[in-house]
Chains A and B, each alone.
Chain A
Amino acid sequence: MLTRLIIYFAYFLKSSPYYRNTKLFFYNLLENPDSRIKSYFDIFMICLVLLSVFLLIYEVDTELTRTEILFEHVLVVLFIIEYLLRAWLFNDVHKIILEHYEKAEYLNSPFRLGEVVRLILAKKIEYIFTPLAVIDLLAILPSYRPLSVLRVLLIFRLFKLFRYFKSLNLFTEVLDSKRFELYNLAVFLGFLVFIGSTGIYFFEHPTNGEQVSNLFDAAYWSIITVSSVGFGDIAPHTPGGRLVAMALILTGLGVISFFISIIVSAFSDRMHDLRENRTYTELKRYKSFVIICGFGRVGRHIAKQLEKHQQHFVVIDSKEVNASKARRLGYHVIHADASKNEVLINAGIKNKAAAVLCTTGDDVVNVYITLTSRHLNPSIRIISRANNQDNVKKLYQAGADNVIQPFEIAAMVVAEYIGQPVAFEAILGIIREEKQFIIETLCVDTGSIIDGLKISEIDFNRRKLMLVGVISANPVHRKHKNSYKVKNQHFYFNPEQFFVLRADDLLVVLGRDVAIDYFRDQIEKSRLKNGRER
């Protein structure tokens, strides 16, 4: 009966969206390194921990008031809740139960509750022994009255800060990466201290017994000397002792410089990764962004345009010169080869990236990046640059949505300028959005005022707009003249007065930005209003 109830409950948890959302919320709050609320929570906890340690110091020679004791209690309760929540988040109990139950059902073997409980406990115990969980526990335990002997362990609360400070973690990581060197250094240092302390004991103890009374004094002196601190409370008097001191000081200098160089080189090695990690974290926060592969001349201009229009982007370039140039401009940069799957995946091509731009100066590389990107994300937008006319087709084959040829476009501009300078300025003016005149598309939303209207019924003149044409994939419009096939849609230039607009058609209008925005607002509002009435 109990077993059935438990299984029923496990299934209930599995299917409950409320439970899932709650768990996700706490995951975001406590564990997810990319979530915003975690950073706020971390700051809050850092303040609490510091306050509690301050209280601990204050308590040394002052009696606590009632409010202070209350605060301490609240704090401990908070710590306990946090500890339990983390234990809860560590794994999914219901998954273990269900997995076992389903296996038992499949094999027709009896479902043993005892074994499942053992597994669950094993998992939770595994959590209890993770280093950070141990620190958490040690920060809580001494507050329990019978254990007040352990009060000094409250200092472990400071170690709790490790959880909330990313940079502290980083320091341990850096030390960890140089484990081999540090281990060797420690062995050497131990050896040195051992020789130093036996030497000084041997020379000084017989004549200077007051200062070097035992081996501990000798070891203390050697460590003080080798680290070049030299308090001077113990000083050698015999020539032998002084010789040991001199040797120890000189080798100590070497050891210290070796230690510093290890730490410095470890940090500089990690600097590159760190910077890139920061880029990845930033990118994960954006709703959408563009990946620019290749920060050459074209890439730079694109970045400038995107920056001007406040769109997010990341630059990937394998050349150090280009990468550092982008870095200097304050852009997000990944210094790596964009044709590698891993690099593009890390940059977020499968998640929030909206488009990939291949703008390197080498067509072969562009084709390769295009192919890689298309393979990784079949629906992403890819715009690629072709330097040679012959490669345009190959880029389309590789999966590019659009191909741009810098010299072809420039040639077109020159030809247009020579042939029709005024028309050219007009086009350029519209494209560059000078004088606030822009060409824009307006969508005919289902149920909006213009859905089902004839062109003649919309007074474009009064709205200070000019209708250039209509883009539509709707086959109803096919009978109209002046249609131009563009990909899988048709563009109807200068549609007749009796042209009836259908839902999802796009109006191409020219006018001032304010006029266009106003009309768009009106369409949007009418759609919402009609939607409500229905």
Chain B
Amino acid sequence: MKRIAVFGYSIMSLEVMSRLNEDQYSFVFIGKDENEASSVAEQGFETKIIDFRNDDALKSIGIGADVDILFCFYPRDSDNVFLTLSARAIDKALTIVAIVDDPESAEKLLAAGANKIIDPYEICGRKTHDMLAKPDITNILDHTVFGRHDLHMAQIEIPEGSCLENTRSCDLRLDQKHNLILIGVVDRESGEALHFAVGEKECTLNAGDVLVVLGPSREIRYFKEEVETV
């Protein structure tokens, strides 16, 4: 179970918290004042009120201890930079995700130590363009992978001693055996990059490699169980 600290009250904070599975993640929302805290608490999330500019206060909510992931969702870039900088100083291993308002601030946030920068407007712009340029694909992805239909993209890591060890990726035949489509493989031997499973060189699977598959969640679960059978 990973612990996530969410800073900043916005539509995004609530959206992200409701999207992530509560079985796998526990949240703590950090509000500026009583109003923010109570409106988030109404949704059933744990809340705290601290001043993010104070390092001791940050430590008091578990940064440097049990918090694994930090979301900086303040509307002002300067606040996000400050928070990222403080948190990174306390915990080197923390995963920090920050949103950015002005595209120029992205570099500053990265320099301050953020792992991932999200520009909501940029994503939205791209998305609108995709809808215009490839309406069919975008529609399908929206309704299935990103939407309510039961079709998901998932990553499955091959554990030590799995039955899949030493099989070749082309011999998996997931589409016939499991009703899944193998999108790509991360072959740890050749780095962290994802190799798409079409027309690329075949690789032999080892423990630690990651398979990216697309399919209904039930099939994904079955396949995961099979992979993890030692």
Interface residues of A, Cβ cutoff 8 Å to B: 290, 296-302, 304-306, 309, 311, 355, 357, 359, 381, 383, 385, 387-389, 402, 404-415, 417-423, 425-427, 429, 431-432, 435, 437, 439-441, 464-466, 468-469, 471, 482, 484, 486-487, 491, 493-494, 497, 506, 508, 510-512, 515
| Chain B residues with CB below 8 A from A413, complex form | 118, 123
B155 contacts A487, CB within 8 Å? Answer: no
* Set of chain B residues within 8 Å of A411, measured between Cβ atoms: 11-12, 15-16, 19
Which residue of chain B has the shortest Cβ distance to A419 in the bound complex? Answer: B20
Q: Is the CB of B123 within 8 A of A302?
A: no
> A466 touching B146 by the CB < 8 A rule?
no
**Interface residue from B128, B130, B181 paired with A494 (Cβ < 8 Å):** B181
- Could you tell me if B128 and A426 are in contact, using CB atoms closer than 8 angstroms? no
Neighbour of A491 across the interface among B97, B144, B146, B216, CB < 8 A? B144
B93 at the interface (CB under 8 A from A): no
- Sampled A-B contacts (25; CB under 8 Å): A299-B125, A301-B122, A305-B125, A357-B128, A383-B131, A387-B11, A389-B11, A410-B118, A411-B16, A412-B146, A414-B12, A414-B118, A417-B97, A418-B20, A419-B24, A422-B212, A425-B194, A426-B212, A431-B126, A484-B140, A484-B144, A491-B143, A493-B181, A493-B214, A494-B215
Q: Would B97 and A415 count as touching, CB distance under 8 A?
A: no
Q: Which residues of B contact A (CB under 8 A)?
A: 4, 10-12, 15-16, 19-21, 24-25, 69, 71, 95, 97, 99, 116, 118-137, 139-141, 143-146, 149, 151, 153-155, 175-176, 179-181, 183-184, 186, 194, 196-199, 210, 212, 214-216
Closest partner residue, chain A, to B197 (CB atom) = A466
List, in ascending order, chain B residues with CB within 8 A of A493's CB. 144, 151, 181, 214-216
Q: Is the CB of B194 within 8 A of A429?
A: yes
Residues of B within 8 A of A420 (CB): 153-155
Residue of A nearest to B68 (CB): A418
Chain A residue with the shortest CB-CB distance to B124: A406
- Smallest CB gap from B116: residue in A: A417
A305 proximity list for chain B (CB < 8 A)? 125-126, 128-129
Bound form: Cα–Cα A409–B11 in Å: 11
Contacts of B4 in A (CB 8 A): 418
- Asked if B198 and A494 make an inter-chain contact with CB atoms under 8 angstroms apart, the answer reads no
Measured in the bound complex, the distance between the Cα atoms of B128 and A437 in whole Å is 20
Instruction: Please tell me if the beta carbons of B181 and A466 are within 8 angstroms of each other in the complex.
Output: yes
> How far is B129's CA from A311's CA once the two chains are assembled, in angstroms?
10
Q: Inside 8 A of A300's CB, which chain B residues have their CB? A: 121, 125
Contacts of A441 in B (CB 8 A): 134, 136-137
Known: A407-B10, A415-B19. A439 touches B137 (CB 8 A): yes
| Known contacts A466-B198, A468-B214, A511-B198; A309/B129 CB under 8 A | yes
Known: A423-B154, A494-B175. A410 touches B123 (CB 8 A): yes
Nearest CB of chain A from residue B122's CB, rounded to whole Å: 5
Q: Which of A359, A387, A437, A441 has the most chain B CB atoms closer than 10 A to its own CB?
A: A437
**B151 & A418 in contact (Cβ 8 Å cutoff):** no
Residue in A301, A431, A497 with the greatest tally of chain B CB atoms within 10 Å: A301
User: Which single residue of chain A is at the shortest CB-CB distance from B129?
Assistant: A305
Instruction: Output the least CB separation between B110 and chain A (Å).
Output: 15
| Residues of B contacting A512 in the complex (Cβ-Cβ under 8 angstroms) | 198-199
What CA separation (Å) do A388 and B12 show in the bound complex? 11
Q: How far is the CA of A510 from the CA of B215 in the complex (A)?
A: 15
Q: Which residues on A sit within 8 Å (CB–CB) of B118?
A: 410, 413-414
A290–B133 alpha-carbon span in the complex (Å):
11
A317 to B218, CA, bound (A): 48
- The reply to whether A469 and B15 contact each other, CB–CB distance below 8 Å, is no
CB atoms of A440 and B194 under 8 A apart: no
User: CA A491 – CA B126 in complex, angstroms?
Assistant: 23
Distance A412 CA – B12 CA, assembled complex (angstroms): 9
The 10 closest A-B pairs by CB, nearest first: A301-B125, A464-B199, A411-B15, A410-B120, A305-B129, A297-B121, A406-B124, A415-B19, A407-B11, A422-B155
CB proximity of A410 to chain B, nearest CB, Å:
4
Task: Report how far A41 CA is from B185 CA in the complex, Å.
Answer: 61
Among candidates B25, B124, B136, B186, residue contacting A409 with C-beta atoms closer than 8 Å = B124
Report how far A440 CA is from B138 CA in the complex, Å: 10
- CB–CB B144/A406 < 8 A: no
Q: Given A417-B116, A419-B20, A494-B179, is A302 in contact with B128 using a C-beta cutoff of 8 Å?
A: yes
Bound form: Cα–Cα A471–B135 in Å: 12
A361 to B105, CA, bound (A): 21
Which residues does chain A contribute within 8 Å of B196, judged by CB atoms? 426, 435, 437, 510
Asked if A418 contacts B145 (CB within 8 A), the reply is no
A427, closest chain B residue (CB)? B153
A128 to chain B, nearest CB (A): 51
Of the candidates A298, A465, A487, A494, which one forms a contact with B125 in the assembled complex, judged by CB atoms under 8 Å apart?
A298
Q: Which residue of B99, B186, B197, B216 is within 8 Å of A482 (Cβ)? A: B216
Among A302, A412, A497, the most chain B Cβ lie within 10 Å of the Cβ of A302
Contacts of A511 in B (CB 8 A): 198-199
The chain B residue with its CB closest to the CB of A296 is B121
CB distance from B18 to the nearest CB of A (A): 8
Interface centre among A418, A420, A515 (most CB of B within 10 A): A418
Given A302-B128, A355-B132, A486-B143, check contact A510 B10 (CB 8 Å).
no
Question: CA of A471 to CA of B184 in the docked complex: distance in angstroms?
Answer: 23
Chain B nearest CB from A480 CB (Å) reads: 12
> Given A420-B153, A423-B154, A429-B194, A404–B69 Cβ distance below 8 Å?
no
Is B127 within 8 A of A409, CB to CB?
Answer: yes
Q: Which residues of A contact B116 (CB under 8 A)?
A: 414, 417
| Bound CA span A311–B21, Å | 40
Q: Which residues of B contact A494 (CB under 8 A)?
A: 175, 179-181, 215
B102 to chain A, nearest CB (A): 9
Please name all residues of chain B whose beta carbon is closer than 8 Å to the beta carbon of A381 when the two chains form the complex: 132, 135
Inside 8 A of B12's CB, which chain A residues have their CB? 407, 410-411, 414
> Is the beta-carbon distance between B132 and A407 smaller than 8 angstroms?
no
- Residues of chain A within 8 A (CB-CB) of B175 are 494
Min Cβ gap B211→A in Å is 9
For the complex formed, measure the closest distance between the CB of B146 and the CB atoms of chain A, giving whole angstroms: 6
A487 touches B139 (CB 8 A): yes
Whole-angstrom CA separation of A487 from B144 in the bound complex: 12
Asked if B97 and A418 sit within 8 Å, CB to CB, the answer is yes
Residues of B within 8 A of A431 (CB): 126, 130, 141
